[in-house]
Amino acid sequence: MKKIGVLTSGGDCSGMNAAIRSVTRTAIGHNVEVVGFRKGFAGLLKGDYLALGTRDVAGIVQRGGTFLQSARSDEFRTAPGREKALRHLEELGVEGLVVIGGDGSLNGALALHRMGFPVIGIPASIDNDIAFTDMALGVDTALNNIVYAIDCIKDTASSHDRAFVIEVMGRNSGYLASTAAIATGAEYAIVPEVECDITELCNSLRRRYEEGRSNAIIILAEGAGHAQSIADNIKDAIGFETRVTVLGHYQRGGAPTVFDRLLGSRFGFTAVELLLNGQSGKMVGLCCSTVIPTLLETVVVTEKTPQDELYEMSLILEI
Ligand code: F6P
């Protein structure tokens, strides 16, 4: 291979820049040219790209977001869109592609592979909902952001004897909510994977209040319910003054943690090594501290095993 491409697609996350830098420098180390497509598959469709040299990716490993920018492309989901993307790759002399993104992006990568184009995927999504990787890129930074915010909210909650319902992201995954609950000592995590008995939740909050606890933190995964209505329920049931905080996109940004800088670097390095070794249609994943490739066609049809033990642990630790 003489030239490869790289793009970031779907929701951005911290660590994407580390992966782009690693892809670029690993490829250049093998005398392979690199082009970065702007705004994900949309850039591929428009022919919107830039040549990436070693210095072009300097000073980005510590920056959140993605300097190539990201987008979700409806056109790329269509067969004519994919044909057009393939034509552009061929016209540019690009012989392989690294796609950095979440489940939608990995599906796009698989589609290109099925059209005969060499592709390797890197899992990147704060939701941690991608199978065959213990951690996706961006999860650790998002979790640290969440924990910092909740620690702050806990200070004000305890000063006013209040309960807070704090909504975190995660789409249909409760990973961020469960792990944040453990790490912050929250009273309760509400996750999409487990039905929440709001009466039981209120009873247990009331018991704690009567035992002398002055505040409560309930972490709600966005896919598990409506924050304001849960807060209203708590207020009506136990008379606790409640507030709602939706952490929103704050969770997705900020300087990547060391873990995400290293993970992005390791994923990028292995992705290029795989491409240059003639492999395609695979996603690199972190399995028991080792970077291991898995077939994309297996990844996209496998639901990540819900990490119920984390949720159970969060309940037991908050007794
Ligand atoms: O998939 C990542 C994610 O941040 C989800 O947690 C969230 O539901 C969604 O993206 C938000 O998407 P957008 O940035 O398009 O609002």
Please determine, for residue 154, whether its predicted confidence score (pLDDT) is greater than 80: yes
Identify whether 129 is a catalytic site residue. no
What is residue 317's predicted lDDT score, i.e. its pLDDT? 86
pTM over cut 0.85: yes
Where residue 319 falls among pLDDT bands split at 50, 70, 90?
low
Please determine, for residue 192, whether its predicted confidence score (pLDDT) is greater than 80: yes
Mean pLDDT for 135-146 is: 98
* C-alpha span between 104 and 199 (Å, rounded): 37
Mean pLDDT for 87-92 is: 96
What is residue 209's predicted lDDT score, i.e. its pLDDT? 84
Supply the mean pLDDT for the chain: 95
202 close to 182: Cβ distance less than 8 angstroms: no
Q: Measuring CA to CA, how many Å separate 150 from each of 154, 185, 190, 231, 242?
A: 6, 10, 15, 16, 15
Q: What is the DSSP letter of 250?
A: G
What is the share, in percent, of the chain residues with pLDDT greater than 70?
100
Q: What angle do CA 218, 308, 195 make, to 5 degrees?
A: 55
Kindly give the pairing relationship between strand 282-287 and strand 290-295: antiparallel
Tell me which H or E stretch contains 16.
Answer: helix 16-29
Q: From the CB of 125, is ligand 1 less than 6 Å away?
A: yes
Give me ligand 1 centre to Cα 131, in Å. 18
Q: From the CB of 253, is ligand 1 less than 6 Å away?
A: no
Q: Record the tokens describing residue 300, joined without a space.
A: 């996209």
Give me ligand 1 centre to Cα 11, in Å. 6
Please compute Rg for the chain using Cα positions: 22
Mean pLDDT for 199-221 is: 90
Mean pLDDT for 120-125 is: 98
What is residue 15's predicted lDDT score, i.e. its pLDDT? 98
Give me ligand 1 centre to Cα 246, in Å. 13
Mean pLDDT for 118-146 is: 98
Q: From the CB of 126, is ligand 1 less than 6 Å away?
A: yes
Where does the chain show beta strands of DSSP type E? 3-9, 33-37, 49-52, 96-101, 119-123, 162-168, 188-190, 216-221, 241-246, 282-287, 290-295
Give me ligand 1 centre to Cα 13, in Å. 10
Residue type, 203: N
Q: Record the tokens describing residue 301, joined without a space.
A: 């049809």
Protein residue with its CA nearest to atom 15 in ligand 1: 11
Mean pLDDT for 279-296 is: 98
DSSP lists the bridge partners of residue 293 as 284
Residue in 127, 129, 140, 260 annotated catalytic: 127
Please determine, for residue 190, whether its predicted confidence score (pLDDT) is greater than 80: yes
Residue with tokens 């390797």: 120
306 by DSSP, 3-state: which? coil
What is residue 238's predicted lDDT score, i.e. its pLDDT? 85
Q: For a substitution probing ligand 1, which of 106, 169, 222, 252 has the most ligand atoms within 8 Å of its CB?
A: 169
Mean pLDDT for 128-154 is: 98
* C-alpha span between 111 and 115 (Å, rounded): 6
Mean pLDDT for 257-264 is: 98
Residues with Cβ within 8 Å of residue 88, at least 6 apart in sequence: 44, 45, 47
Mean pLDDT for 109-124 is: 98
Q: From the CB of 113, is ligand 1 less than 6 Å away?
A: no
Q: From the CB of 169, is ligand 1 less than 6 Å away?
A: yes
* C-alpha span between 125 and 103 (Å, rounded): 8
